[in-house]
Amino acid sequence: MAARSPHPVDLAYQALVQSGVLTPDPAQAEAAGILAGIAAELESTSGKRSLFSRKTHVSGAYVFGAVGRGKTMLMDLFFNETSISRKRRVHFHEFMDEVHREIAVFRVKSADDKGRRDPIPFVTKPIIAETRLLCLDEFHVNDITNAMLLGRLFAALFAGGVTLVATSNVAPDGLYKDGLNRQLVLPFIDLLKHKTRVFELQAATDYRHLKLAGQRVFAFGAPEVTRPALDRLWQVLTGGQDGHRGEVFSLGRSIPVPREAMGVARFSFAELCEAPLGARDYLRIAESFHSIVIDDVPLLGRTRSDAAKRLILLIDTLYDRRATLAAGFAAPLDALADDDRTAFEFERTLSRLTEMQSEDYLAGRIKAISL
């Protein structure tokens, strides 16, 4: 078989390595090559608009590995450099929420049929019409409703010519592990392994830890002191990328991301904790980015009780997801809050903030703690 010519996905990855943004890594390079091959095959057939060609399935990829290994970065390169128009990238849970909403619409429209009609054709028809390439971030099955649905849903999508490229922290055989009636998801796992190339991203190290070794991730003082410190951390975490505006979708609405690059997002305290955000919103942010930078965390007195409660919830979420946090605080952690209404809860937050700046946490060696 003749060697494949370099694809823009290959070239974009090589450029990041050559510029020093990325450290050379054989596993990442291999994954980039797999994704480049998929992009090339999709592009080679994208101009053929016959009914047959639209339903010809191009095998996708399921890339899994531990947090911080570069999955998001590789998905960024692949999606941006694949030059077909009918492509979509979305978080897995957001995609499944949309599917369930469409099923609910179908049930209302088909109320007279008393459940005799299958909603899957109704749900998948517009997806197939609009999407040749479906990129799903953070593929993770954690509830029985999705477990029961996935097999029929993706069988229809694959039959319609949709190519799936997904990232996950777990291997296909680990999906819905120990879940109720797990046997219901096993046919889907077999289908997934048949329709995608499963690749474990066994990068040698967690690059967040490598980049942050010896760095102070928290800064204290006035904004004119903390912001330059966080600017430097941003440069370290993103390899010098400027970043761009983005958005995260949660429960059908958009949460603006003022600045993002290379799996890192930057917000102000006001944007995260004074906005009407809740637990699901923070979970979606934590699922979308491996590192969060927060500017201008103020003193948290009684007039900021609501914002303090949101900060507590945010830190709990980032901690549970093992996300990296860099932040600028107006005062040392033990002097940050003065509000008896949140004092008890904030004690745990202080403990977690202290832990989140430790070498062990940044190296990813913290074990899950049930509280």
CA distances from 180 to 153, 261, 271 (A): 20, 38, 38
pLDDT of residue 328: 96
pLDDT of residue 207: 58
pLDDT of residue 240: 81
pLDDT in tens, 226-256: 999 999 999 888 878 888 998 888 877 889 9
Distance CA 308, CA 301 (A): 8
For every residue of 311-330, DSSP letters joined together read: HHHHHHHHHHTT-EEEEEES
Beta-bridge mates of residue 137: 91
pLDDT in tens, 187-238: 999 999 999 999 998 865 555 655 665 678 999 999 999 999 999 999 888 8
- For residue 294, is it left (φ>0), alpha (ψ between -120 and 50) or beta? beta
pLDDT of residue 298: 94
pLDDT in tens, 152-183: 999 999 999 999 999 998 999 999 888 888 88
Give percent of the chain above pLDDT 70: 89
pLDDT of residue 179: 83
